[in-house]
Amino acid sequence: MTQKLFLALLVASRKLCHYFQGYPIKVVSAYTLERVLRIPNAAGRLGEWNVELQAFQLEFSTTRIIKGATLSDFVVEWTDFLDREGTGDGVVLISPTQDKLYYTVQLCFQHGEKVSNNIAEYEGLIAGLKAVAALRPPPPAAGPASLQEELPPAPFSGASACGPASGARLLLALEPQEGCWIEELKAYLLQGTLPGKEEDAEREARQATAYCIQDAELHRKGPNDVSLRCISREQGCELLADIDGGDCGHHSSSCTLVGKAFRSGFYRPTALNDATELVISCDACQFHAKQIRQPTQGLQTIPLSWSFMVWGLDILGPFPRAPGGYRYLYITIDKNTKWAEVEVVRTIPAISTVKFIKGLVSRFKVPNRIITNNGSQFTSNLFNTYSAKNGTQICYASVAHP
Protein backbone atom coordinates (compact mmCIF):
# COMPACT_ATOMS: atom_id res chain seq x y z
CA MET A 1 0.00 0.00 0.00
CA THR A 2 2.87 2.35 0.78
CA GLN A 3 4.40 1.84 -2.66
CA LYS A 4 1.04 2.57 -4.30
CA LEU A 5 0.81 5.86 -2.41
CA PHE A 6 4.34 6.78 -3.44
CA LEU A 7 3.52 5.94 -7.05
CA ALA A 8 0.45 8.20 -6.91
CA LEU A 9 2.60 11.00 -5.46
CA LEU A 10 5.24 10.46 -8.16
CA VAL A 11 2.68 10.59 -10.98
CA ALA A 12 1.16 13.76 -9.51
CA SER A 13 4.60 15.40 -9.33
CA ARG A 14 5.23 14.60 -12.99
CA LYS A 15 1.87 15.82 -14.27
CA LEU A 16 1.81 18.92 -12.01
CA CYS A 17 5.51 19.65 -12.13
CA HIS A 18 5.02 23.43 -12.32
CA TYR A 19 3.04 23.38 -9.05
CA PHE A 20 5.52 21.12 -7.27
CA GLN A 21 8.44 23.33 -8.32
CA GLY A 22 6.80 26.62 -7.42
CA TYR A 23 5.07 25.85 -4.12
CA PRO A 24 5.66 23.71 -1.02
CA ILE A 25 3.46 20.62 -1.17
CA LYS A 26 1.73 19.20 1.92
CA VAL A 27 0.99 15.46 1.76
CA VAL A 28 -1.70 14.18 4.14
CA SER A 29 -1.99 10.43 4.63
CA ALA A 30 -2.79 7.87 7.29
CA TYR A 31 0.57 6.16 6.62
CA THR A 32 3.96 7.42 7.75
CA LEU A 33 5.30 8.13 4.28
CA GLU A 34 8.02 10.47 5.46
CA ARG A 35 9.74 7.73 7.44
CA VAL A 36 9.89 5.50 4.37
CA LEU A 37 10.98 8.33 2.08
CA ARG A 38 13.87 9.37 4.34
CA ILE A 39 15.47 5.90 4.43
CA PRO A 40 19.07 6.52 3.26
CA ASN A 41 19.72 2.99 1.96
CA ALA A 42 16.48 2.49 0.04
CA ALA A 43 16.98 0.28 -3.01
CA GLY A 44 15.02 -0.64 -6.10
CA ARG A 45 12.30 1.51 -7.57
CA LEU A 46 11.55 3.01 -4.15
CA GLY A 47 15.06 4.40 -4.09
CA GLU A 48 14.65 5.87 -7.57
CA TRP A 49 11.38 7.50 -6.55
CA ASN A 50 13.07 8.85 -3.44
CA VAL A 51 15.77 10.55 -5.51
CA GLU A 52 13.19 12.09 -7.87
CA LEU A 53 10.98 13.38 -5.04
CA GLN A 54 13.91 14.92 -3.14
CA ALA A 55 13.86 17.85 -5.58
CA PHE A 56 10.52 19.12 -4.22
CA GLN A 57 9.54 20.74 -0.93
CA LEU A 58 7.36 18.01 0.50
CA GLU A 59 5.80 18.20 3.96
CA PHE A 60 4.15 15.05 5.30
CA SER A 61 1.36 15.02 7.86
CA THR A 62 -0.88 12.28 9.20
CA THR A 63 -4.64 12.49 9.34
CA ARG A 64 -4.66 12.55 13.13
CA ILE A 65 -2.56 15.71 13.22
CA ILE A 66 -4.78 17.39 10.63
CA LYS A 67 -7.95 16.41 12.53
CA GLY A 68 -6.63 17.78 15.82
CA ALA A 69 -5.46 21.03 14.20
CA THR A 70 -8.82 21.52 12.53
CA LEU A 71 -10.80 21.01 15.70
CA SER A 72 -8.57 23.38 17.64
CA ASP A 73 -9.27 26.20 15.16
CA PHE A 74 -12.95 26.35 16.20
CA VAL A 75 -13.49 28.48 19.27
CA VAL A 76 -17.07 27.59 20.09
CA GLU A 77 -18.85 27.53 23.42
CA TRP A 78 -21.82 25.14 23.64
CA THR A 79 -24.64 25.46 26.15
CA ASP A 80 -27.27 22.72 26.47
CA PHE A 81 -30.55 23.46 28.19
CA LEU A 82 -34.04 22.08 28.56
CA ASP A 83 -36.86 24.46 27.79
CA ARG A 84 -40.36 24.35 29.16
CA GLU A 85 -42.00 22.61 26.20
CA GLY A 86 -39.35 20.37 24.63
CA THR A 87 -35.69 19.76 24.02
CA GLY A 88 -33.48 22.45 22.50
CA ASP A 89 -29.88 23.58 22.24
CA GLY A 90 -28.30 26.96 22.54
CA VAL A 91 -25.14 27.84 20.69
CA VAL A 92 -22.78 30.71 21.46
CA LEU A 93 -20.26 31.51 18.68
CA ILE A 94 -17.26 33.54 19.81
CA SER A 95 -15.31 35.33 17.05
CA PRO A 96 -11.57 36.14 17.25
CA THR A 97 -12.57 39.70 18.29
CA GLN A 98 -14.59 38.27 21.21
CA ASP A 99 -17.92 39.10 19.55
CA LYS A 100 -20.62 36.67 20.66
CA LEU A 101 -23.43 35.43 18.45
CA TYR A 102 -26.25 33.50 20.15
CA TYR A 103 -28.34 30.89 18.33
CA THR A 104 -31.38 28.98 19.51
CA VAL A 105 -31.79 25.56 17.91
CA GLN A 106 -34.99 23.53 18.22
CA LEU A 107 -34.39 19.83 17.68
CA CYS A 108 -37.19 17.91 15.95
CA PHE A 109 -37.18 14.12 16.36
CA GLN A 110 -39.66 11.56 15.17
CA HIS A 111 -42.39 10.42 17.50
CA GLY A 112 -41.30 7.46 19.61
CA GLU A 113 -37.61 7.79 18.69
CA LYS A 114 -35.18 7.16 21.54
CA VAL A 115 -32.92 10.14 22.02
CA SER A 116 -29.89 10.25 24.29
CA ASN A 117 -27.84 13.20 25.51
CA ASN A 118 -25.05 12.36 23.07
CA ILE A 119 -27.44 12.49 20.10
CA ALA A 120 -28.74 15.88 21.23
CA GLU A 121 -25.21 17.20 21.67
CA TYR A 122 -24.14 15.98 18.24
CA GLU A 123 -27.22 17.50 16.60
CA GLY A 124 -26.44 20.79 18.30
CA LEU A 125 -22.82 20.54 17.12
CA ILE A 126 -23.93 19.97 13.52
CA ALA A 127 -26.31 22.93 13.74
CA GLY A 128 -23.54 25.14 15.07
CA LEU A 129 -21.18 24.14 12.26
CA LYS A 130 -23.89 24.92 9.72
CA ALA A 131 -24.34 28.33 11.30
CA VAL A 132 -20.59 28.98 11.12
CA ALA A 133 -20.51 27.96 7.44
CA ALA A 134 -23.49 30.20 6.66
CA LEU A 135 -21.85 33.30 8.14
CA ARG A 136 -20.02 35.69 5.86
CA PRO A 137 -17.00 37.69 7.04
CA PRO A 138 -18.09 41.25 8.00
CA PRO A 139 -16.29 44.41 6.81
CA PRO A 140 -13.13 45.34 8.79
CA ALA A 141 -14.81 48.30 10.48
CA ALA A 142 -17.89 46.35 11.49
CA GLY A 143 -18.54 45.66 15.14
CA PRO A 144 -21.05 43.64 17.12
CA ALA A 145 -23.81 46.12 16.35
CA SER A 146 -23.42 45.76 12.59
CA LEU A 147 -23.31 41.96 12.89
CA GLN A 148 -26.59 41.98 14.75
CA GLU A 149 -28.17 44.18 12.07
CA GLU A 150 -27.19 41.77 9.28
CA LEU A 151 -28.65 38.69 11.01
CA PRO A 152 -32.41 38.09 10.65
CA PRO A 153 -34.63 38.34 13.73
CA ALA A 154 -35.21 35.10 15.60
CA PRO A 155 -38.66 33.56 15.21
CA PHE A 156 -40.53 32.38 18.27
CA SER A 157 -39.64 28.73 18.97
CA GLY A 158 -40.94 28.21 22.50
CA ALA A 159 -37.41 27.59 23.78
CA SER A 160 -35.94 29.39 26.76
CA ALA A 161 -33.51 32.24 26.24
CA CYS A 162 -29.82 31.58 25.68
CA GLY A 163 -27.41 34.39 26.49
CA PRO A 164 -28.24 38.07 26.94
CA ALA A 165 -31.40 39.56 25.45
CA SER A 166 -29.42 41.76 23.03
CA GLY A 167 -27.84 38.80 21.22
CA ALA A 168 -29.05 37.72 17.78
CA ARG A 169 -30.78 34.34 17.47
CA LEU A 170 -31.60 32.07 14.55
CA LEU A 171 -33.87 29.02 14.39
CA LEU A 172 -32.45 26.11 12.41
CA ALA A 173 -34.67 23.29 11.14
CA LEU A 174 -32.65 20.09 10.86
CA GLU A 175 -34.40 18.62 7.82
CA PRO A 176 -32.80 17.32 4.60
CA GLN A 177 -33.00 19.71 1.66
CA GLU A 178 -32.91 18.24 -1.86
CA GLY A 179 -33.59 19.48 -5.33
CA CYS A 180 -37.17 19.50 -6.62
CA TRP A 181 -36.41 17.15 -9.53
CA ILE A 182 -34.77 14.64 -7.18
CA GLU A 183 -37.80 14.60 -4.89
CA GLU A 184 -40.20 14.12 -7.81
CA LEU A 185 -38.29 11.17 -9.24
CA LYS A 186 -37.87 9.56 -5.81
CA ALA A 187 -41.59 9.93 -5.11
CA TYR A 188 -42.43 8.25 -8.42
CA LEU A 189 -39.94 5.39 -7.99
CA LEU A 190 -40.89 4.70 -4.37
CA GLN A 191 -44.61 5.50 -4.27
CA GLY A 192 -45.66 5.87 -7.92
CA THR A 193 -46.68 9.50 -7.41
CA LEU A 194 -47.00 11.58 -10.60
CA PRO A 195 -47.66 15.31 -11.17
CA GLY A 196 -51.18 16.49 -11.84
CA LYS A 197 -50.61 17.62 -15.44
CA GLU A 198 -50.65 14.91 -18.05
CA GLU A 199 -47.64 16.28 -19.94
CA ASP A 200 -45.52 16.49 -16.78
CA ALA A 201 -46.61 13.02 -15.70
CA GLU A 202 -45.66 11.52 -19.07
CA ARG A 203 -42.31 13.28 -19.06
CA GLU A 204 -41.48 12.17 -15.52
CA ALA A 205 -42.49 8.56 -16.19
CA ARG A 206 -40.28 8.52 -19.29
CA GLN A 207 -37.29 10.02 -17.47
CA ALA A 208 -37.64 7.76 -14.44
CA THR A 209 -36.63 4.71 -16.47
CA ALA A 210 -33.02 5.97 -16.41
CA TYR A 211 -32.88 6.27 -12.59
CA CYS A 212 -32.91 3.90 -9.63
CA ILE A 213 -32.89 4.04 -5.83
CA GLN A 214 -29.77 2.86 -3.99
CA ASP A 215 -29.28 3.34 -0.24
CA ALA A 216 -32.26 5.71 -0.16
CA GLU A 217 -30.52 7.98 -2.70
CA LEU A 218 -31.43 8.69 -6.31
CA HIS A 219 -28.88 7.34 -8.80
CA ARG A 220 -28.56 7.64 -12.56
CA LYS A 221 -28.07 4.38 -14.43
CA GLY A 222 -24.91 4.26 -16.51
CA PRO A 223 -24.26 2.31 -19.71
CA ASN A 224 -21.41 0.43 -17.98
CA ASP A 225 -23.56 -0.61 -15.00
CA VAL A 226 -22.04 2.14 -12.86
CA SER A 227 -24.65 4.25 -11.08
CA LEU A 228 -24.06 7.97 -10.54
CA ARG A 229 -25.43 9.71 -7.47
CA CYS A 230 -27.77 12.61 -8.29
CA ILE A 231 -26.95 15.84 -6.48
CA SER A 232 -28.62 19.23 -6.15
CA ARG A 233 -27.57 22.42 -7.92
CA GLU A 234 -25.72 23.80 -4.89
CA GLN A 235 -23.75 20.61 -4.44
CA GLY A 236 -23.04 20.40 -8.16
CA CYS A 237 -21.73 23.97 -8.35
CA GLU A 238 -19.57 23.39 -5.29
CA LEU A 239 -18.17 20.19 -6.79
CA LEU A 240 -17.37 21.85 -10.14
CA ALA A 241 -15.73 24.81 -8.39
CA ASP A 242 -13.54 22.44 -6.36
CA ILE A 243 -12.52 20.50 -9.48
CA ASP A 244 -11.77 23.71 -11.40
CA GLY A 245 -9.99 25.83 -8.81
CA GLY A 246 -9.24 23.45 -5.95
CA ASP A 247 -5.85 22.27 -4.74
CA CYS A 248 -5.38 20.07 -7.83
CA GLY A 249 -7.45 22.18 -10.23
CA HIS A 250 -5.93 23.32 -13.51
CA HIS A 251 -8.76 25.48 -14.97
CA SER A 252 -9.76 23.22 -17.85
CA SER A 253 -12.72 23.47 -20.21
CA SER A 254 -16.35 22.90 -19.26
CA CYS A 255 -16.53 19.46 -20.93
CA THR A 256 -13.46 18.30 -19.02
CA LEU A 257 -14.94 19.50 -15.71
CA VAL A 258 -18.19 17.65 -16.32
CA GLY A 259 -16.33 14.50 -17.35
CA LYS A 260 -14.31 14.52 -14.11
CA ALA A 261 -17.46 15.06 -12.05
CA PHE A 262 -19.20 12.13 -13.74
CA ARG A 263 -16.16 9.88 -13.32
CA SER A 264 -16.18 10.75 -9.61
CA GLY A 265 -19.65 9.20 -9.33
CA PHE A 266 -21.94 12.26 -9.36
CA TYR A 267 -24.62 13.34 -11.84
CA ARG A 268 -26.71 16.39 -12.58
CA PRO A 269 -28.70 17.03 -15.79
CA THR A 270 -27.57 20.66 -16.13
CA ALA A 271 -23.94 20.01 -15.21
CA LEU A 272 -22.63 21.17 -18.61
CA ASN A 273 -24.48 24.51 -18.40
CA ASP A 274 -23.26 25.05 -14.83
CA ALA A 275 -19.69 24.27 -15.89
CA THR A 276 -19.95 26.66 -18.85
CA GLU A 277 -21.09 29.49 -16.57
CA LEU A 278 -18.26 28.71 -14.16
CA VAL A 279 -15.61 28.76 -16.90
CA ILE A 280 -16.94 32.03 -18.35
CA SER A 281 -16.89 33.76 -14.95
CA CYS A 282 -13.41 32.45 -13.99
CA ASP A 283 -10.51 34.73 -14.97
CA ALA A 284 -7.94 31.93 -14.71
CA CYS A 285 -9.98 29.74 -17.08
CA GLN A 286 -10.06 32.54 -19.65
CA PHE A 287 -6.31 33.08 -19.28
CA HIS A 288 -5.48 29.39 -19.79
CA ALA A 289 -8.06 28.83 -22.54
CA LYS A 290 -7.04 27.91 -26.07
CA GLN A 291 -5.94 30.91 -28.10
CA ILE A 292 -7.64 31.58 -31.43
CA ARG A 293 -5.13 31.16 -34.25
CA GLN A 294 -7.34 32.41 -37.06
CA PRO A 295 -6.17 35.45 -39.06
CA THR A 296 -7.60 38.82 -38.12
CA GLN A 297 -8.98 39.36 -41.62
CA GLY A 298 -10.63 37.14 -44.19
CA LEU A 299 -8.48 35.07 -46.51
CA GLN A 300 -7.98 36.49 -50.00
CA THR A 301 -9.23 34.19 -52.72
CA ILE A 302 -7.20 34.19 -55.94
CA PRO A 303 -9.36 33.83 -59.06
CA LEU A 304 -7.54 32.09 -61.93
CA SER A 305 -9.93 32.99 -64.73
CA TRP A 306 -7.36 34.33 -67.25
CA SER A 307 -3.69 35.22 -67.44
CA PHE A 308 -2.05 38.46 -66.36
CA MET A 309 -5.11 39.62 -64.43
CA VAL A 310 -3.88 38.89 -60.88
CA TRP A 311 -0.31 39.79 -59.89
CA GLY A 312 1.64 39.38 -56.71
CA LEU A 313 3.88 42.37 -55.95
CA ASP A 314 6.79 42.59 -53.51
CA ILE A 315 10.12 44.34 -52.86
CA LEU A 316 13.34 42.42 -52.14
CA GLY A 317 16.37 43.94 -50.46
CA PRO A 318 18.45 45.75 -49.49
CA PHE A 319 21.26 43.80 -51.16
CA PRO A 320 24.96 44.69 -51.28
CA ARG A 321 25.44 47.71 -53.51
CA ALA A 322 25.89 46.67 -57.14
CA PRO A 323 27.56 48.68 -59.91
CA GLY A 324 25.37 51.66 -60.57
CA GLY A 325 24.14 51.87 -56.93
CA TYR A 326 21.34 49.32 -57.32
CA ARG A 327 20.28 47.71 -54.03
CA TYR A 328 16.57 46.73 -54.38
CA LEU A 329 14.37 44.58 -56.59
CA TYR A 330 10.75 45.05 -57.63
CA ILE A 331 9.34 41.62 -58.40
CA THR A 332 5.86 40.65 -59.54
CA ILE A 333 4.50 37.19 -60.44
CA ASP A 334 1.38 36.32 -62.39
CA LYS A 335 -0.77 33.99 -60.29
CA ASN A 336 -1.94 31.96 -63.30
CA THR A 337 1.09 31.45 -65.54
CA LYS A 338 3.74 32.13 -62.83
CA TRP A 339 5.36 34.64 -65.17
CA ALA A 340 7.81 36.84 -63.26
CA GLU A 341 8.84 40.44 -63.93
CA VAL A 342 11.84 41.95 -62.11
CA GLU A 343 13.29 45.48 -62.09
CA VAL A 344 16.34 46.71 -60.19
CA VAL A 345 16.22 50.15 -58.54
CA ARG A 346 18.44 52.28 -56.35
CA THR A 347 15.72 53.50 -53.95
CA ILE A 348 12.14 52.45 -53.30
CA PRO A 349 9.92 55.54 -52.91
CA ALA A 350 6.27 55.41 -53.87
CA ILE A 351 6.89 57.09 -57.23
CA SER A 352 9.27 54.28 -58.30
CA THR A 353 6.53 51.74 -57.46
CA VAL A 354 4.07 53.56 -59.67
CA LYS A 355 6.68 53.70 -62.46
CA PHE A 356 7.15 49.92 -62.22
CA ILE A 357 3.38 49.29 -62.42
CA LYS A 358 3.11 51.61 -65.46
CA GLY A 359 5.70 49.48 -67.28
CA LEU A 360 3.73 46.37 -66.32
CA VAL A 361 0.48 47.85 -67.66
CA SER A 362 2.11 48.90 -70.95
CA ARG A 363 3.20 45.31 -71.60
CA PHE A 364 0.39 43.15 -70.14
CA LYS A 365 -2.59 45.61 -70.00
CA VAL A 366 -4.32 46.78 -66.84
CA PRO A 367 -4.53 44.05 -64.16
CA ASN A 368 -7.72 43.31 -62.30
CA ARG A 369 -6.08 42.78 -58.92
CA ILE A 370 -2.68 43.25 -57.26
CA ILE A 371 -1.89 41.32 -54.09
CA THR A 372 0.86 42.87 -51.97
CA ASN A 373 1.87 43.52 -48.37
CA ASN A 374 1.37 46.55 -46.12
CA GLY A 375 4.58 48.31 -47.08
CA SER A 376 4.58 52.09 -47.05
CA GLN A 377 5.13 52.18 -50.83
CA PHE A 378 1.95 50.15 -51.45
CA THR A 379 -0.23 51.98 -48.92
CA SER A 380 0.73 55.48 -50.06
CA ASN A 381 -1.83 57.85 -51.55
CA LEU A 382 0.10 58.07 -54.82
CA PHE A 383 -0.02 54.29 -55.41
CA ASN A 384 -3.67 53.96 -54.32
CA THR A 385 -4.72 56.91 -56.51
CA TYR A 386 -3.04 55.44 -59.59
CA SER A 387 -4.58 52.01 -58.95
CA ALA A 388 -8.06 53.45 -58.42
CA LYS A 389 -7.73 55.49 -61.62
CA ASN A 390 -6.98 52.32 -63.63
CA GLY A 391 -9.68 50.31 -61.82
CA THR A 392 -7.18 47.90 -60.20
CA GLN A 393 -8.11 46.45 -56.83
CA ILE A 394 -5.34 46.35 -54.21
CA CYS A 395 -5.52 43.37 -51.82
CA TYR A 396 -3.25 43.33 -48.79
CA ALA A 397 -1.92 40.04 -47.37
CA SER A 398 0.78 38.98 -44.90
CA VAL A 399 4.29 40.39 -45.17
CA ALA A 400 6.03 37.14 -46.12
CA HIS A 401 3.65 35.93 -48.82
CA PRO A 402 1.93 38.68 -50.88
Q: For residue range 50-88, what is the model confidence (pLDDT) as tens digits?
A: 778 878 888 888 766 554 455 445 444 444 343 434 445
Over 80: is that where the pLDDT of 239 sits? yes
Over 70: is that where the pLDDT of 161 sits? no
Q: Is residue 369 part of a domain?
A: yes
Looking at the chain, the whole-number percentage of residues with pLDDT higher than 90 is: 16
Over 50: is that where the pLDDT of 22 sits? yes
Facing residues of 123 across strands?
none
- pTM over 0.75? The answer is no
Q: Are residues 273 and 185 in the same domain?
A: no
Backbone phi, psi, residue 357, to 5°: -70, -35
Q: Are 276 and 255 in contact (CB under 8 A)?
A: no
- In angstroms, the Cα distances linking 101 to 89, 93, 113, 167 are 14, 5, 31, 6
Facing residues of 393 across strands?
369
- Read off the pLDDT of residues 330-346 as tens digits, 9 standing for 90 and up: 999 998 889 999 999 99
Confidence class for position 245, pLDDT limits 50, 70, 90: confident
Q: What's 290-352 look like in SS3?
A: CCCCCCCCCCCCCCCCCCCCEEEEEEECCCCCCCCCCCEEEEEEECCCCCEEEEEECCCCHHH
Q: Are residues 236 and 289 in the same domain?
A: yes
Q: Are 65 and 123 in contact (CB under 8 A)?
A: no
Mean pLDDT of 219-232: 83
Over 70: is that where the pLDDT of 158 sits? no
- In angstroms, the Cα distances linking 396 to 225, 300, 338 are 59, 8, 19
If you write DSSP's letter for every residue of 157-192 in order, what string do you get?
-SPPP-S-TTS------------HHHHHHHHHHHH-
Strands (E), 18-99: 25-29, 58-62, 76-82, 87-94
User: Final residue of a domain: which of 230, 253, 270?
Assistant: 230
Residues ≥6 apart with Cβ < 8 Å to 341 = 331, 332, 333, 360
Mean pLDDT of 213-228: 83
Mean pLDDT of 1-30: 83
Q: Are residues 315 and 378 in the same domain?
A: yes
Q: Are residues 315 and 349 in the same domain?
A: yes
Domain that holds residue 390: 310-396
Q: Are residues 18 and 62 in the same domain?
A: yes
Q: Are residues 248 and 325 in the same domain?
A: no
User: Which one is predicted more confidently, 178 or 69?
Assistant: 69
Confidence class for position 142, pLDDT limits 50, 70, 90: very low
Confidence class for position 160, pLDDT limits 50, 70, 90: very low
Q: Is residue 305 part of a domain?
A: no
Alpha-carbon distance of 18 to 101, in angstroms, equals 44
Average pLDDT, the chain: 76
Alpha-carbon distance of 37 to 50, in angstroms, equals 6
User: Final residue of a domain: which of 70, 91, 120?
Assistant: 70
Over 60: is that where the pLDDT of 173 sits? no
Strands 228-230 and 266-267: parallel
Q: Are residues 225 and 248 in the same domain?
A: no
- Read off the pLDDT of residues 273-327 as tens digits, 9 standing for 90 and up: 888 888 888 888 888 777 777 776 677 666 656 788 889 999 998 999 999 899 9
Q: What per-residue confidence (pLDDT) applies to 352?
A: 93
Alpha-carbon distance of 20 to 26, in angstroms, equals 10
Domain count within the chain: 5
Looking at the chain, the whole-number percentage of residues with pLDDT higher than 70 is: 76
Q: Are residues 338 and 379 in the same domain?
A: yes
**Four-residue CA torsion sign, 94, 96, 98, 99:** negative
- Read off the pLDDT of residues 370-397 as tens digits, 9 standing for 90 and up: 999 888 899 999 999 999 999 999 988 8
Q: What per-residue confidence (pLDDT) applies to 335?
A: 86
**Domain CATH code at residue 326:** 3.30.420.10
Q: Is residue 303 part of a domain?
A: no
Helices and strands (H, E) in the chain, number of each type: 15, 14
342-352 CB burial, b ≥16 within 10 A, e <16: eeebeebebeb
Q: Are residues 91 and 152 in the same domain?
A: yes
Q: Are 340 and 316 in contact (CB under 8 A)?
A: no
Strands 328-334 and 310-316: antiparallel
Nearest CA to 99 out of 63, 61, 151, 43 is that of: 151
Q: What per-residue confidence (pLDDT) applies to 399?
A: 57
Q: Are 261 and 220 in contact (CB under 8 A)?
A: no
Strands 340-345 and 266-267: unpaired
Q: Is residue 301 part of a domain?
A: no
Burial (Cβ within 10 Å: 0-12, 13-18, ≥19) of residue 183: middle
Q: Are residues 103 and 153 in the same domain?
A: yes
Burial (Cβ within 10 Å: 0-12, 13-18, ≥19) of residue 243: buried
Q: Is residue 402 part of a domain?
A: no
- In angstroms, the Cα distances linking 84 to 118, 157, 158, 159, 298 are 20, 11, 8, 7, 80
Q: What per-residue confidence (pLDDT) applies to 360?
A: 92
Neighbours of 357 (CB within 10 A): 22
Q: Is residue 214 part of a domain?
A: yes
Alpha-carbon distance of 117 to 113, in angstroms, equals 13
Q: Are residues 115 and 166 in the same domain?
A: yes
Mean pLDDT of 23-36: 79
Q: Are residues 151 and 189 in the same domain?
A: no
Over 60: is that where the pLDDT of 143 sits? no
